[in-house]
Structure 1
Amino acid sequence: MTPPGPDRAPGPVPGKGTAAGPGSAPADGLTPDRVKCVVWDLDNTLWDGIAVESPTGALPTPRPWVLEAIGTLAERGVLSSVASRTDPAVLEQLRADPALAERFVAPQAGWQDKSESLRRIADDLGIAVEALLLVDDSPYERAEVAAMLPGVPTLAPEQVPELLAALTAGPVTEDARRRVSRYRAEAVRKEERRRFAGSREEFLHSCRMRLSLGTARDEDLPRVAELATRTHRLNSSGLDLDPGTLRASLADGGTTVLVAELEDRFGDYGMIGTALVERTPGAWTVPLLALSCRIAGRGVSVAFLRWLMDRARDEGAAEFRVVSRPTSANVELRLLFRQAGLRVIGEPGRDRSAPLTLGRPLDGTLPEFPSWLALSGR
């Protein structure tokens, strides 16, 4: 698939004679596993021309190659959104078109800066803004985002094939394929919460959440590796895993992979949490605890942590430990560890980004399970 070049006529892609312009990052500089949502500009990106200048008042016809790219992204579990500096009425037209509306989550259109639109999208989706990527034909807009949100990569439309090549290089899990539909279910949850007249806790009880917990099966390992790689906000250590490494660790008998799945009355979240556990006489050590950011604010992280502690104690462990590598993204999880009574073992080194081992005895009071969560075995 070759998109049109900057002059809107078919042309080469960057690296083959076409300059992408200022504010664009080369696609080979991307970190594909960090991209959770591609944000598309509208005018001269999603379609040719400017929507508000349409003589008929109808939206321009989307470029087929862009729709194809959005479909490929969805198959890989990457969301698509919209950020456009235009009349907000254009967004209402887009939402009224089922064929277009179903392709985008949390779209933004208005006269605010693109960087502000990206912040709103990230906040709406509950992901880090650095997990976004902007595709925009305007060098100015790409430069504005690069200046205000330096962690967000930006691409010109003609660079999209390189992005797709990078994203499609690895395996894809069933959870990834269903990610777009799950974010749509999350939008329904948010709208229900907005309308709900009771308290937050009453709403959570009304959701009828069920957390299923157990030992990972072999077919779960690709998703476990995906959680380890793609989650940052609720990731204790950022340990780099792949299914082959996991299988080798499990073969020695001293390592266990435990997982959590979540569902509620709105739908199935799929596998949303994992913990790699090393069992030694007297202690359980968790080198990695990772949860999907989609479950933040639901009490799932504390429930998963409590269940791990219970299981460790049931198997005779006297101490529970977690490896934590402090980052700017995982402050929320580190705060949870502290609230759960986990403290640094030994003297921390001078390198504040180095991993720490946190621990606590298991004979004291453990964190309480949230009352709105029903637990079951897998």
Structure 2
Amino acid sequence: MSDKVSMVKCLVWDLDNTLWQGTLLEDGEVRLSDEIRKTIVELDARGILQAVASKNDHEPAWQRLEELGVAEYFVLARIGWGPKSASVRAIADELNFAHKTIAFIDDQPAERAEVQFHLPEVRCYEAEAAAGLLGLPEFTPRARTIDSGKRRQMYQAGFRREAERADFAGPDEEFLRSLELEMRIFPATEAELSRVEELTLRTSQMNATGVHYSDETLRGLLADPGHEVLVVTMDDRFGTHGAVGVVLVERLARVWHLKLLATSCRVVSFGAGAVILNWLVDQAARAGVHVVADFRRTERNRIMEIAYRFAGFAESGCACLEGAAAGGVERLHLAAERREGSGVVKLIAPELGVGLGLVK
């Protein structure tokens, strides 16, 4: 697939004579073809979210989706009698997706035109194109990551989590404790490489340098005993957040060089960056080494800079790392000291100073 093709992140389906054959209010019985069922299932496996925007009565339409065995595949449903453009806009807003990453499919030219007029960046498709969507480049990710097939479940868990947060009356820290958060940090394998590369490419607010590490570069670092390529995952009682971070560390005799820390924006509110940094600093203190972290200011990564500062990193420090930083990268220094673990997040992570045995 060409890198110039912008990927679709969510496909919004019309129902009558588009997703299913027939009109629910007129025909009563409607059918789902094998081709459309295959398309729904495969888009889900590719990590492309799906939603519904239909002019119908909500309860019978949703009931029919359940009877057809596909309701679970749709993260959001806007079923009612308002303009389709308003439904598509609401879906994009709730997912926090740019309109250019949304696609809409409908059998009615007037409905597609109405969406296109109000939301010109949304890509619109005729119902006849549904069976061929899987062959289009905008619906074909360059690589499937370890999280692709779980993306829909992660969003559905997120909606349940946010609903409970809205109803929670206590302090934020108490709510975070109630989530039973668990973070795992572990050495990457080839199976995680595509997700690690994706994190370095797509994460901007919580990326310490903005550097993209290619699959080829990451494979080389995996084979280098002097480097640790670490993946961070998070789970809670609602489900998994998937792979949410990557840590790249070069371990030298007197200093550990943190070349990259990137975390997903969706775990910022859980303090994931701070938990990772505290763990790394504690591990360095156990190993008796200094820590140097690369950091490059961008227009979007102010939150990551704050995380580094709160962890104790500063511009001045020992000249214990050979070679000068380049490309606007600063080297932040920290004399490592033992750190207490998080009282909110249960951490399962390797002990870097003495090998990779898991410690809690």
TM-score by length of 1: 0.70
Aligned to 2:71: 101
The answer as to 2:12 corresponding to 1:39 is yes
Report the RMSD for the aligned CA atoms in angstroms.
4.1
Tell me the CA shift for residue 224 of structure 1.
1.6
CA distance in structure 1 between the aligned counterparts of 2:142 and 2:295, rounded to whole angstroms:
29
Aligned to 1:110: 80
Answer whether contact 1:227 1:292 (CA < 8 A) is retained: yes
Answer whether contact 1:221 1:243 (CA < 8 A) is retained: yes
Answer whether contact 1:302 1:367 (CA < 8 A) is retained: no
Change (3 A) 1:216 1:283: same
1:249 pairs with 215, 221, 229, which one? 221
Answer whether contact 1:343 1:358 (CA < 8 A) is retained: no
Amino acid at match of 2:80: G
Change (3 A) 1:253 1:158: farther
Answer whether contact 2:13 2:19 (CA < 8 A) is retained: yes
Change (3 A) 1:100 1:220: closer
The answer as to 2:289 corresponding to 1:319 is no
1:227 pairs with 195, 199, 202, which one? 199
The answer as to 2:93 corresponding to 1:120 is no
CA distance in structure 2 between the aligned counterparts of 1:117 and 1:277, rounded to whole angstroms:
45
CA distance in structure 2 between the aligned counterparts of 1:128 and 1:80, rounded to whole angstroms:
15
Within-5 A mapping of 1:1-378: 30-32=5-7, 35-51=8-24, 54-55=25-26, 58=28, 60-89=30-59, 92-94=62-64, 97=67, 99-125=69-95, 130-139=100-109, 141-142=111-112, 145=115, 149=119, 152-160=122-130, 161-166=132-137, 167-168=139-140, 170-229=142-201, 231=203, 234-236=206-208, 239-278=211-250, 282=255, 284-287=257-260, 289-311=261-283, 316-326=289-299, 333=304, 336=307, 356-363=328-335, 371-377=343-349
- Structure 1: which 5+ runs fail to align? 1-26, 346-354
Tell me the CA shift for residue 205 of structure 1.
0.8
Tell me the CA shift for residue 372 of structure 1.
1.5
Change (3 A) 1:235 1:372: same
CA distance in structure 2 between the aligned counterparts of 1:367 and 1:113, rounded to whole angstroms:
55
- Structure 2: which 5+ runs fail to align? 317-326, 350-357
Answer whether contact 2:249 2:259 (CA < 8 A) is retained: yes
Amino acid at match of 1:55: E
Tell me the CA shift for residue 29 of structure 1.
6.3
1:56-115 CA-partner distances (Å, limit 9, x unpaired): 5x4632343222111111122222111235544555445654713112112223345545
SS at match of 1:275: strand
Answer whether contact 2:105 2:124 (CA < 8 A) is retained: yes
1:263-297 CA-partner distances (Å, limit 9, x unpaired): 2223333322112345677562434x333444342
Tell me the CA shift for residue 254 of structure 1.
4.9
Tell me the CA shift for residue 182 of structure 1.
3.2
Amino acid at match of 1:322: F
CA distance in structure 2 between the aligned counterparts of 1:371 and 1:359, rounded to whole angstroms:
30
SS at match of 1:295: helix
1:181-239 CA-partner distances (Å, limit 9, x unpaired): 33333344334434544343222211111111233234332332243345556445554
- Provide the identity percentage: 35
Change (3 A) 1:255 1:59: farther
CA distance in structure 1 between the aligned counterparts of 2:43 and 2:124, rounded to whole angstroms:
16
CA distance in structure 2 between the aligned counterparts of 1:154 and 1:294, rounded to whole angstroms:
28
1:33-54 CA-partner distances (Å, limit 9, x unpaired): xx33222222332134544xx2
Change (3 A) 1:233 1:29: same
Answer whether contact 1:222 1:242 (CA < 8 A) is retained: no
Change (3 A) 1:229 1:129: farther
SS at match of 1:361: strand
Change (3 A) 1:318 1:193: closer
Change (3 A) 1:301 1:82: farther
Aligned to 1:18: none
Answer whether contact 1:85 1:111 (CA < 8 A) is retained: yes
Aligned to 1:23: none
Change (3 A) 1:343 1:362: closer
> How many pairs were matched up?
336
Change (3 A) 1:71 1:337: same
CA distance in structure 2 between the aligned counterparts of 1:368 and 1:145, rounded to whole angstroms:
53
